[in-house]
Amino acid sequence: MKIESVDAKIFHHKTNQSRDSDGHAHPGPAIDATSALLVISCDDGTTGNLIARPGDVEDSLLDQFVRPLLLGQDPMRPEAIWNSLYKWQRGSAGKLTDRVLCAVDLTLWDLIGKACGQPVWKLLGGYRDKIVAYGSTMCGDDLKGGLATPEDYAQFAEWMVKERGYRAIKLHGWMPPIPGAPDVRKDHLACAAVREAVGPDVPLMLDPNHWYSRADSLWLCQRLEELNFHWIEEMMEEASLSSYQWLTSRTPRINILGPESMTGKHWTRAEWAANGACDMLRTGVWDVGGISPALKTAKLAECFHMSCEIHGTGAGNMAVAAAIPNTTYYERGLLHPFINYEEPRAHQNRIDDEMDSEGFVHFRNEPGLGQDLNLDYIENNLD
Ligand code: LLH
Ligand code: MG
């Protein structure tokens, strides 16, 4: 079995989400957008598919780096292929990003699952067949009836728990360029309002502004300790390992989780674990370059008796969360009162992460990553 082609099909669709000037997603009017379907095909007709951002699978990147390394190779050797891409990163003048590695790795794993007739989560270890989801809100905004006030967060949290069945919630606070952000005091008011709304027993987490000072971070952590929050993540620039050591040593009653967006894949995460910079490790397939390095992060966390909480949504992150024993939740979102998260996108027959009324996301038994794609829609809406 040999890889015969690697192609990205760019297709059009509508979206009702837009990104602000700092890259945070918010609800908006329906606008035109494009996405990509990355397809790796083998000489026996087996294919792997993945929905990706067009910029991560541009034809020039596939031509320069991916096709030379993949064509003619055995797809059942993802570790060898991942390492060959990784080795080329340093000399690629920044073009071969971790997101490119991730797109290739996920597509390969989808292909491997299909070739074996097995879901990827089982091939990776198959620790669990369902997981509790936490409802992860969008960042705060200034939309009337949206996530503009602490009361808005409280009302939405009440709906999540009482109407939709979520068993845990994570707030993303107000971040620039939203007027008045960042403000630890306002973050605290939203967290207090949510705690009041859902009662003492629902696990709560916070992802606030990404660049608070040490002093503001400590103040916020101490308030969240009083509110019995389970974890806080990425409140400071993650390149500053010693700031996280400083904070972790001063906050015994809340878990510091990280690093999320810091570069360096599983190697950075090993340094955080070894140097006491967090209580729980963080990894996500799009942050570290795919399933292969995300699994390594989880396994190194296990060796330190630490949990490894998976960042982000989608089939690749689900496969990792299902495979490992040392994780607690699946991050489901981003959620907002104006967005119907349950509705499949135009290119999907079903969303990846359907959740039951008890707050569990179940892992599918179909071969591959478990994405149920509407390939006809994609073919009929090509760029
Ligand atoms: O800053 C944001 O828009 C969110 O924090 C987003 O990056 C989200 O993926 C996240 O951090 N989840 O934990
Ligand atoms: Mg986060």
Measured CA to CA in angstroms, residue 313 lies from 56, 237, 253, 270 at distances of 17, 22, 27, 23
Q: Give long-range contacts, CB 8 A cutoff, 24+ apart: 377-380.
A: 377/11, 377/13, 377/346, 377/347, 378/9, 378/11, 378/37, 378/347, 379/9
The mean per-residue pLDDT over the stretch 183-201 comes to 98
Query: Which amino acid residue places its CA nearest to atom 2 of ligand 1?
Result: 24
Query: Which amino acid residue places its CA nearest to atom 8 of ligand 1?
Result: 312
The mean per-residue pLDDT over the stretch 339-367 comes to 98
Query: Which amino acid residue places its CA nearest to atom 7 of ligand 1?
Result: 24
Q: Which of the four pLDDT bands, split at 50, 70 and 90, describes residue 134?
A: very high
Measured CA to CA in angstroms, residue 345 lies from 34, 181, 295 at distances of 12, 31, 28
Best residue for ligand 1 mutational test, from 174, 207, 327 (most atoms within 8 Å of Cβ): 207
The mean per-residue pLDDT over the stretch 338-342 comes to 98
Q: Using H for helix, E for strand and C for coil, what is the string for 92-105? A: CCCCCCHHHHHHHH
The mean per-residue pLDDT over the stretch 230-242 comes to 98
The mean per-residue pLDDT over the stretch 131-156 comes to 98
Ligand number nearest to the C-alpha of 334: 1
**Amino acid at residue number 281:** L
What residue spans of the chain are helical by DSSP H? Answer: 59-61, 67-70, 78-89, 98-116, 120-123, 150-158, 184-198, 214-226, 241-248, 265-274, 285-288, 291-303, 315-323, 375-380
Measured CA to CA in angstroms, residue 189 lies from 138, 220, 252 at distances of 17, 11, 22
Ligand number nearest to the C-alpha of 311: 1
Q: Is the CB of 24 under 6 A from ligand 1?
A: yes
Which tens digit of pLDDT belongs to each residue from 6-34?
A: 999 999 999 999 999 999 999 999 999 99
Q: Is the CB of 312 under 6 A from ligand 1?
A: yes
Q: Is the CB of 207 under 6 A from ligand 1?
A: yes
Please report the pLDDT score of residue 12 as a whole number.
Answer: 98
Q: Which atom of ligand 1 is nearest to the CA of 233?
A: 13
Distant-in-sequence, close-in-space partners of 91: CB < 8 Å, separation ≥ 6: none
Q: Which of the four pLDDT bands, split at 50, 70 and 90, describes residue 334?
A: very high
Cβ pair 134, 330 in contact under 8 A: yes
Query: Which amino acid residue places its CA nearest to atom 13 of ligand 1?
Result: 311
CA of 46 to the centre of ligand 1 (A): 34
Please report the pLDDT score of residue 140 as a whole number.
Answer: 98
CA of 332 to the centre of ligand 2 (A): 12
CA of 20 to the centre of ligand 1 (A): 13
Which tens digit of pLDDT belongs to each residue from 162-175?
A: 999 999 999 999 99
Which tens digit of pLDDT belongs to each residue from 247-284?
A: 999 999 999 999 999 999 999 999 999 999 999 999 99
Which tens digit of pLDDT belongs to each residue from 308-317?
A: 999 999 999 9
SS3 13: strand
Check the CA dihedral 123-126-130-133 and report its sign. negative
Mean pLDDT value across the chain: 98
Q: Which of the four pLDDT bands, split at 50, 70 and 90, describes residue 227?
A: very high
Q: Is the CB of 289 under 6 A from ligand 1?
A: no
Please report the pLDDT score of residue 302 as a whole number.
Answer: 98
168-172/204-207 β-pairing: parallel
Q: Which tokens sit at 240?
A: 């500053």
What percent of the residues of the chain are helix, what percent strand, and what percent coil, each to the nearest 5?
A: 35, 25, 40
The mean per-residue pLDDT over the stretch 216-220 comes to 98
Measured CA to CA in angstroms, residue 68 lies from 6, 10, 228, 232 at distances of 10, 21, 52, 42
Please report the pLDDT score of residue 233 as a whole number.
Answer: 98
Which tens digit of pLDDT belongs to each residue from 79-94?
A: 999 999 999 999 999 9
Q: How far is CA 94 from the centre of its chain?
A: 22
Q: Which atom of ligand 1 is nearest to the CA of 210?
A: 1
pTM higher than 0.95 for the full model? yes
Q: Which atom of ligand 1 is nearest to the CA of 234?
A: 11
Ligand number nearest to the C-alpha of 209: 1
CA of 42 to the centre of ligand 1 (A): 35
CA of 369 to the centre of ligand 2 (A): 23
